[in-house]
Amino acid sequence: MSMNPFNRIPEGPNRTAAQAVSVVFLMGALSWASVPFYDWFCRVTGFGGVTNVASTGSDTILDQTMTVRFESSLARDMPWTFKPVQREMEARIGETVLAFYEATNPTDEPIAGSASYNVAPYEAGKFFDKIDCFCFEEQVLQPGETINMPVTFYVDPAIVDDYEGKYIHTITLGYTFHRNDLPEDIDQAALSTPTVTDLN
Q: Could you list the mean pLDDT of each consecutive 10-residue stretch along the chain, which spans 200 residues?
A: 52 56 48 44 42 80 98 96 97 97 97 94 93 90 96 96 96 96 70 53
Helices (H) and strands (E) in the chain, counts: 2, 11
**Extents of the domains making up the chain:** 48-198
pTM of the model: 0.69
Q: CA dihedral defined by 183, 189, 193, 199, rounded to 10 degrees?
A: -10
DSSP state of 142: -
Contact 125/187 with Cβ under 8 angstroms?
A: no
Per-residue confidence (pLDDT) for residue 136, from 0 to 100:
81
pLDDT score of 200: 59
Q: What are phi and psi of 10, to 5 degrees?
A: -60, 145
What pLDDT was estimated at residue 20? 52
Return d(Cα 48, Cα 123) in angstroms, integer: 9
Q: Which residues pair with 178 in a beta bridge?
A: 114
| Residue 54: predicted pLDDT | 74
Q: What's the confidence (pLDDT) of residue 135? A: 87
Q: Which residues pair with 92 in a beta bridge?
A: 65
pLDDT at position 196: 56
Give pLDDT, residue 24.
44
Superfamily of domain covering 48-198? Ctag/Cox11 (2.60.370.10)
Q: What is the pLDDT of residue 43?
A: 40
Q: How many CB atoms lie under 10 A from the CB of residue 164?
A: 13
